[in-house]
Amino acid sequence: MSISAASSASSSRLPAGFGSASFEAFLESRSEPGWVTDQRRAAFALYQEKLGTPLNPEEWKRVDLRTFQPNRFSLTTAGTAPAQFETLLQDRAQFAGAVSEVDGRAVSVKLDENLVRQGVLFGNLSDLVHDHREILEPHLMTRAVRPDRDRFAAWHAAFWTGGTVLYVPKNVTVEGPLYSLIGLSEPDAADFSHTLVILEEGASSTLLEETGSATTENAGLHVGAVELLVGDGARLQYVQLQNWNQKVWHLAHQTGLVGRDASLQWTVAGIGAHLAHIHQQVTLEGRGSTAEVNGVTFATDRQVLSYYTQQTHQAEHTRSDLLYKDVLRDRARVIWRGMIRVDKDAQQTDGYQRNDSLLLSPTCRADSIPGLEIEADEVRCTHGATAGRVDEEQIFYCMCRGLSRYEAMHMIVEGFFHGVYDRIAVEAVRDTLSQAVIRKLGFE
Amino acid sequence: MSEFQKVATVAELPPGGRKSLVIDDRAILVFRIGDDFYAVEDVCSHDGQPLTDGELLGMEIECPRHGARFDVRTGKPMCMPAVEPIATFTVEVREGDIYLGPEA
């Protein structure tokens, strides 16, 4: 299914770039409450300061930003270009609610009436800041992704364009998944969408988010942030399927905070983008909390997909389990730098991380660097990484059974990813990923 | 980079000079050695990071971090730790201007 955005004659663009003039014009176009504007101004000052400070070399030295020219991109302020999105996920399940945003502007919001009555909020951040300050202000970039983290966090905090907010009150269970689409449509458009999920104590929900481009040729920029705040005893499943075209720059900070006895299952899929760098952090704040992190990445051509993941254990009896699987072809490059950090008080924790890479051609490259930093003395923390080419013997075996070389390759790739698919509870997501992989391999 | 495009003038680059470029989202380094011009992709095939400030030793560029060397004419790795070549590009001089062409 494709969704079409409402169309109007034209759209207005702010001056290209992200300097003071663009920032003032951006604020002018927004008419937001004072507390939001104040937050933005503070973040913009921080952004300008951080531009002069080098990035953390441990995180960035393998990611080449020399060809990144942020000043060619601009924000749109009004009007909506007609856009058709080939979404992968949208027609695969019945959703209890759906929101979409294109080129940084809200397009549509839908939520089941029953959920509205139970106090669930699901909509665009740009709209909700006007009437829900009491819910948003304590959480918006104050606990999970703080603007002072680095220049990208500050940049996002100054210029966020909207994004999905999900708030589930205490002990409310949202049955059935919710869906969110972030789209880029016009040439050189920028999207600074912010995903904020707040689950109160004992709440439960599933959010499936997808990013996509309306065209294959328009370049774009996404500087995003995801904040997942999982309250005590709450359960969240969150999926982000990054499926931009191969001309988009994707830079994002994504953080989940997990409360006492709460659980977070987080799946990150990277299919598109010219260059993507995700700083993903999971912090187990409360005793007995658990987090499962799944990564599925398929990079081809000259794509560069980079992940910097951190699993931080701050409390006792916490468990984290990360599995990233990536497949590479052509001249693609995937970088994964993972760290498990265990604080002094986080005894009896169990941390695991693993990254497997499958290289389909001799010219692609995978960098896999797991790490541990442990201050407690009674823990179990393990990690591993593998990288390898497709075994010619396996291909030969499949071809002996009548499969073409291509079919054999597909079977092997599909089998490789199955280790992650098996961990994903939502069937629609498993099917979508499988379909995306088939497409990317080059046959429908 | 299917067609030749002007990237510098001969006057800009004295013998031994170099210039960094970004073309079609690729970082490229152009050299002048004597009166000849060469262009290579500005990324070491060993660690994936820039060669920009590496020393020129005869016809070879040395990676400033781990000492890998590449022949600027062919991109061929000349010593460890590099084992894979780097991309090279055709360069032409036309009436005092330097034009960069397709990947060789």
Q: Are A191 and A222 in contact (CB under 8 A)?
A: yes
Q: Which amino acid is at A82?
A: P
Q: Do B49 and A367 touch (CB under 8 A)?
A: no
Using the Cβ of B25 and the Cβ atoms of chain A, whether some distance falls under 8 Å is answered with yes
- The token duo for B80 is 């460890």
Separation CA A63–CA B69 (nearest Å): 22
Q: Do A66 and B49 touch (CB under 8 A)?
A: no
Task: Compute the average pLDDT of residues A238-245.
Answer: 95
Q: Which residues of A touch B26 (CB under 8 A)?
A: 67
Q: Do A66 and B25 touch (CB under 8 A)?
A: no
- The token duo for A284 is 């187990």
Q: Do B48 and A67 touch (CB under 8 A)?
A: no
Report the relative pairing of strands A105-111 and B18-23 from DSSP bridges: unpaired
Shortest CA gap A62–chain B (Å): 7
A235 confidence band (pLDDT: 50, 70, 90): very high
Separation CA A366–CA A369 (nearest Å): 10
Category of A261 on φ-ψ map: left (φ > 0), alpha (ψ -120 to 50) or beta: left
Q: Which residues of A touch B29 (CB under 8 A)?
A: none
Query: Would you say residue A11 has pLDDT above 70?
Result: no
Of A69, A274, A333, the CB nearest to B48: A333
Task: Tell which wins on pLDDT, A410 or A338.
Answer: A338
pLDDT digits (tens, 9 = 90+) for A215-224: 999 999 999 9
Query: Would you say residue A4 has pLDDT above 50?
Result: no
Task: Compute the average pLDDT of residues A258-262.
Answer: 98
Of A33-42, A111-120, A425-434, the one with minimum mean pLDDT is A425-434
Which H or E element spans position B68?
none
Query: Would you say residue A350 has pLDDT above 90?
Result: yes
Cβ neighbours for A28, distance < 8 A, ≥ 6 positions apart: none
Shortest CA gap A262–chain B (Å): 40
Of A76-90, A344-358, B69-83, the one with minimum mean pLDDT is A76-90
Q: Which residues of B touch A302 (CB under 8 A)?
A: 25
Q: Do B26 and A67 touch (CB under 8 A)?
A: yes
Q: Are A7 and A80 in contact (CB under 8 A)?
A: yes
pLDDT for A80 equals: 57
Which H or E element spans position B61?
strand B60-62
Query: Would you say residue A404 has pLDDT above 50?
Result: yes
Give the residue from chain A lying closest to B84, CA to CA: A363
Question: What ipTM does this complex have?
Answer: 0.80
Q: Do A62 and B48 touch (CB under 8 A)?
A: yes
Sites in chain B below the pLDDT cut of 50: none
Task: Compute the average pLDDT of residues A140-158.
Answer: 96
Task: Compute the average pLDDT of residues A420-426.
Answer: 91
Classify residue B2 by its DSSP letter.
-
Shortest CA gap A362–chain B (Å): 10
Angle between helices A392-400 and A405-421 (to 10 degrees): 120
Task: Compute the average pLDDT of residues A385-396.
Answer: 92
Q: Which residues of A touch B46 (CB under 8 A)?
A: none
Of A9-18, A172-181, A257-266, the one with minimum mean pLDDT is A9-18
Query: Would you say residue A170 has pLDDT above 60?
Result: yes
Query: Would you say residue A9 has pLDDT above 50?
Result: no
Category of A12 on φ-ψ map: left (φ > 0), alpha (ψ -120 to 50) or beta: beta
Query: Would you say residue A430 has pLDDT above 50?
Result: yes
Separation CA A377–CA B21 (nearest Å): 51
Give the residue from chain A lying closest to B86, CA to CA: A363
Q: Which residues of B touch A333 (CB under 8 A)?
A: 48
Q: Are A75 and A65 in contact (CB under 8 A)?
A: no
pLDDT for A438 equals: 86
Separation CA A114–CA A14 (nearest Å): 39
pLDDT digits (tens, 9 = 90+) for A191-222: 999 999 999 999 999 999 999 999 999 999 99
Give the pTM: 0.91
